[in-house]
């Protein structure tokens, strides 16, 4: 594989999905062993489910936290984090809620779908909660159920987050998309914004996706192997 010297780019976006965390041991959503094959979205990942049975929804997310805490960032996460430390024009826009980029040391991460490591109350706002178990299933200020700060199916994305991500996509002259099936909107639409501009665009995925043909280069391979082989920045 020919190395890509990324120092020459002005604005670099890594756009990541569940495949980015697959080699860390975190299951994807739609592939073999995917989360949505084992669980029903309408029972664990939407506002209606939370209103019907908050405890079940919280326990589902708590289990996911425990699984994530058993996993570690892989070589691909580390490369992105090393690049971010070295260059000041790098942002990660992720659909992942697992925090794996941050565990690898990344600071500049836009989380489109929220985070497993935050909870929120409709009255008292958002707070961090990072343990294996939730500190409490309830808001510390009132008796309401705490809701995972995650964009579930049917939820609107946080407007500020989407504006920030769009800005990055418009500005990007290098887009590297890793490990997403690109079927969930509006996240998938963000990529189209960058692809319409004159960016160098690269997709890394072991399988072709419905948008692979839109990229200048679509590399069939695993994130943890391809990223360290592909990118040079020193």
What residues contact residue 44 under an 8 Å CB cut-off, 6+ apart? 56, 57, 60, 61
What stretch of H or E contains 170? helix 159-171
- Ranges within 77-136 binding ligand OAD (CB under 6 A): 95, 113
Among 127, 206, 218, 228, binds ligand OAD (CB under 6 A): 206
Neighbours of 220 (CB within 10 A): 12
Three-class DSSP category at 119 = strand
Judged by beta carbon, residue 77 or residue 113, the one nearer ligand OAD is: 113
Among 6, 62, 222, 231, binds ligand OAD (CB under 6 A): 222
CB contact at 8 A, 76 and 228: yes
CB contact at 8 A, 179 and 223: yes
223 binds ligand OAD (CB under 6 A): yes
Of 11-19, 63-71, 141-149, 210-218: span binding ligand OAD (CB under 6 A): 11-19
- In angstroms, give the least distance from the CB of 92 to ligand OAD: 13
Among 172, 178, 191, 227, binds ligand OAD (CB under 6 A): 178
Catalytic residue among 37, 101, 113, 213: 113
- Ranges within 30-49 binding ligand OAD (CB under 6 A): 30-31, 34
Among 204, 211, 219, 227, binds ligand OAD (CB under 6 A): 204
What stretch of H or E contains 112? none
Which tokens in the block code for residue 151?
Answer: 């964009």
207 binds ligand OAD (CB under 6 A): yes
Give the count of residues interacting with ligand OAD (CB under 6 A): 26
Judged by beta carbon, residue 12 or residue 178, the one nearer ligand OAD is: 178
Whether 213 is catalytic is no
Residue 231 to residue 234: CA distance in whole angstroms: 10
Any idea what the Cα angle at residue 157 is, between residues 166 and 131, rounded to 5°? Answer: 110
């Amino acid at each position: 594989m020919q190395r890509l010297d990324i120092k020459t780019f002005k604005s670099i976006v890594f756009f990541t999905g569940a495949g980015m965390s697959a080699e860390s041991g975190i299951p994807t959503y739609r592939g073999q062993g995917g989360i949505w094959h084992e669980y029903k979205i309408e029972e664990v990942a939407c506002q209606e489910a939370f209103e019907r049975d908050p405890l079940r929804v919280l326990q589902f997310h708590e289990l996911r936290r425990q699984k994530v805490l058993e996993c570690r960032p892989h070589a691909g996460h580390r490369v992105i984090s090393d690049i971010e430390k070295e260059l000041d024009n790098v942002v990660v826009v992720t659909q992942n809620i697992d925090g794996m980029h941050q565990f690898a040391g990344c600071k500049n991460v836009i989380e489109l779908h929220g985070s497993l490591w935050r909870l929120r109350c409709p009255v008292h706002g958002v707070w961090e909660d990072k343990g294996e178990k939730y500190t409490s299933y309830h808001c510390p200020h009132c008796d309401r159920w705490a809701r995972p700060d995650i964009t579930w199916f049917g939820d609107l994305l946080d407007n500020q987050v989407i504006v920030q991500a769009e800005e990055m996509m418009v500005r990007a002259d290098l887009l590297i998309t890793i490990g997403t099936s690109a079927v969930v909107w509006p996240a998938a639409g963000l990529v189209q914004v960058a692809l319409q501009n004159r960016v160098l665009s690269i997709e890394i995925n072991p399988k072709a996706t419905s948008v692979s043909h839109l990229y200048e280069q679509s590399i069939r391979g695993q994130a943890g192997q391809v990223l360290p082989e592909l990118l040079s920045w020193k």
